[in-house]
């Protein structure tokens, strides 16, 4: 089982901010911004290139993040990042959306 599947299953502890039947949102262990959360679909797949048939899940996930904006402390804005593969530095091969905010985020 991959590390995020273990977090989803509760086998590895995490600071969960939100959970429903298809996604979990928890704090990144090595935050790169004042607020750094990870949004993970409960179903294991590594890449967007494997997400054929999961379009509705991905759409619901983005809309859910937006609905949670205030609750997550992101009322002043936020950034979503999805690293894909080697060049992007993806280290965990379970699809995840980084949610960054809580401060003005550098862009260069
Ligand atoms: P990637 O580099 O694959 O896009 O992002 C993986 C992220 O997972 C990194 O930001 C890293 O800090 C985070 N991470 C890795 N292991 C754990 C863990 O055990 N718990 C939590 N909460 N985050 C983790
Ligand atoms: Zn997994």
Q: What is the mean pLDDT of residues 84-90?
A: 97
| Structure confidence at residue 92 (pLDDT) | 98
| Structure confidence at residue 101 (pLDDT) | 98
Q: What is the mean pLDDT of residues 63-86?
A: 98
pLDDT tier at 10 (50, 70, 90 boundaries)? Answer: very high
User: Which ligand is located closest to the Cα atom of residue 7?
Assistant: 1
Q: Using only the alpha carbons of the chain, give its radius of gyration.
A: 13
- State the pairing for strand pair 23-27/35-41: antiparallel
User: Which ligand is located closest to the Cα atom of residue 40?
Assistant: 2
Report yes or no: 49 and 95 within 8 Å, Cβ to Cβ.
no
| Ligand 1, CB within 6 Å, residue ranges | 3, 12, 14, 26-30, 38, 83, 89-92
User: Is the pTM for the entire model greater than 0.75?
Assistant: yes
| Structure confidence at residue 42 (pLDDT) | 98
Ligand 1 center to 92 CA (angstroms):
7
96 is catalytic: yes
| Structure confidence at residue 24 (pLDDT) | 98
Q: What is the tens place of the pLDDT at every residue in 14-70?
A: 999 999 999 999 999 999 999 999 999 999 999 999 999 999 999 999 999 999 999
Among 14, 28, 79, the mutation site with the greatest number of ligand 1 atoms within 8 A of its Cβ is: 28
- State the pairing for strand pair 78-81/97-101: antiparallel
Ligand 2 center to 76 CA (angstroms):
31
């Amino acid at each position: 089982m991959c590390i995020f599947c273990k977090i989803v299953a509760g086998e590895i502890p995490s600071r969960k901010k939100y959970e429903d039947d298809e996604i979990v949102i928890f704090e990144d262990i090595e935050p790169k911004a004042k607020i750094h959360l990870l949004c993970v679909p409960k179903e294991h797949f590594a890449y967007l290139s494997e997400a054929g048939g999961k379009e509705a899940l991905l759409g619901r996930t983005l809309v859910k993040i937006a609905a949670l904006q205030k609750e997550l402390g992101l009322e002043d804005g936020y950034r979503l990042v999805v690293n894909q593969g080697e060049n992007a530095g993806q280290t965990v091969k379970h699809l995840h959306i980084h949610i960054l905010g809580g401060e003005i985020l550098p862009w260069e």
